[in-house]
Structure 1
């Protein structure tokens, strides 16, 4: 059986400016979306590995899915979102402007952030390491929007560009590829499409 690999981003989070962004939790809306997917796994039903970033919002997305699938949850700290600790929380408009530069200047450390090129190498190496051995079923990676976009670009043979981002809506999007060819089959889709068998 061919193995399908999916990369899913966490959905909406509680924005807590005084708290480390890496420790932000899912919002009620984000939790509801995860619960709905866990209750109706759809396309995820053949998943035999769930692998997550160690950031709270990613773990809170991955853990209910792993439990519903009856598999263990694997934590990979190096799957974290691009390192933005140099600035910490930024107001939304300022954050979007810096994020635009992050993608537009991939070799530069914008305001001390990890460069897009470094973040891309990191997420790609983590995915490659996880997929190096034969798999017994489908694989689900649970992570973040920016590094997910960088992974999508790398697998698609595209230059780093924010126009390949998951788009607005607070996250909770995915793309997939087969383990042999490592070529994304489609652009980002909302997690609800998985329930429908997308």
Structure 2
């Protein structure tokens, strides 16, 4: 049986414009969703949990790791696309800029990291972990933007926001480690 690789986006966070986005933590809802799924045993074949260095991803990974008695490996280069040039944007403005980010992957929109660069970075990090060839399933915990770029890569499709997770967080997709084929497109965390 082939090992499964899952990429999970952190669920809901506490939004605070006064705090840098990478330092936002999970909200009560995000934490409760993660704890509920961690208790199901659906991830029992997981032997590695790899997280972005952003607080919300680490908190998500730690909840799951505690149930599986695993350590979380933090890989700083798995962070969300670098949006520090604009900082926090109000939701409507953020969505408009995110649309441009995906629509023009070769261009830095308002100083954001280019989508092609973010995609290369997240693929490189995932492939470095998978090159270890450790037995068991692997769970990567990260973010919607780079998660979508990763999904596009392993699905063999061009960067496009139509391949984005359908909600605001707490979604996953899965691919087989052996042939890197996507086995499950975006699904809610609760569908693990």
Match of 2:97, SS? helix
Distance in 2, matches of 1:135 and 1:178, equals 14
Distance in 1, matches of 2:133 and 2:162, equals 33
Offset, 1:37: 1.1
Distance in 1, matches of 2:117 and 2:106, equals 8
Match of 1:135, SS? coil
Distance in 2, matches of 1:152 and 1:39, equals 26
Return 5+ residue gaps in structure 1 as ranges: none
Return 5+ residue gaps in structure 2 as ranges: none
Offset, 1:64: 1.1
Cα deviation digits, residues 143-197 of structure 1 (max 9, x gap): 00000000000111100000000022x2100010110111111220001011xxx
In the alignment, structure 1 residue 174 sits paired with structure 2 residue 172: yes
Q: What residue number does 1:17 align with?
A: 17
Distance in 1, matches of 2:153 and 2:97, equals 21
Q: What residue number does 1:126 align with?
A: 125
Distance in 2, matches of 1:177 and 1:118, equals 22
Offset, 1:11: 0.2
Offset, 1:59: 0.4
Q: What residue number does 2:73 align with?
A: 74
Offset, 1:103: 0.1
Distance in 1, matches of 2:185 and 2:49, equals 21
In the alignment, structure 1 residue 103 sits paired with structure 2 residue 126: no
Distance in 1, matches of 2:135 and 2:181, equals 20
RMSD: 0.7
Distance in 2, matches of 1:76 and 1:186, equals 24
Flag as ranges the 4+ runs of structure 1 deviating above 3 A.
Answer: none
Offset, 1:41: 2.6
Alignment of 1:51-62 (within 5 A): 51-62=50-61
Distance in 1, matches of 2:41 and 2:16, equals 30
How many residue pairs end up in the alignment?
A: 192
Q: Is the 8 A contact 1:3 1:135 kept in 2?
A: no
Cα deviation digits, residues 119-158 of structure 1 (max 9, x gap): 0000000000000022221000000000000000011110
Q: What residue number does 1:190 align with?
A: 188
Offset, 1:70: 1.0
